[in-house]
Amino acid sequence: MSTATTLVTDITQIYQAVINTPDIVLVPAALWFGKLIKRSSIDNAYIPVIVILFTGILGFIVLDQNVNSFIIGIRSGLFTVATHQSFKQINRKRKRKKKKE
């Protein structure tokens, strides 16, 4: 199996795991928050960690206000960051390939 096929399979499995949970609203919130802090003076290296912590806190507030809700929020943040970074890497490889041609 090629790397691209494996990546798509992994993303699909993660996506299906998140879709089956009630905390799906945390994903768009994490994307929005990430875009918001991207515009600030915060170093890009810290944005994924900040987004993950934000979704953990948001999950705690929005869901049942217990440790499990915080963990669900963290999981949603990890999903969001991983998906964003995967698409970012795919686009980078496509751009490099076009430059070589």
Q: For 27-81, what is each residue's pLDDT tens digit?
A: 888 989 999 998 999 998 899 999 999 999 998 988 888 898 899 889 989 988 9
Q: Residue 2 above 70 pLDDT?
A: no
Please give the tally of structural domains in the chain.
1
* 100 in any annotated domain: no
**Total-model pTM:** 0.68
How many other C-beta atoms lie within 10 A of the C-beta of residue 83?
17
* 85 in any annotated domain: yes
* 62 in any annotated domain: yes
Secondary structure (3-state) at 95? helix
Residues spanned by the domain of 36: 3-95
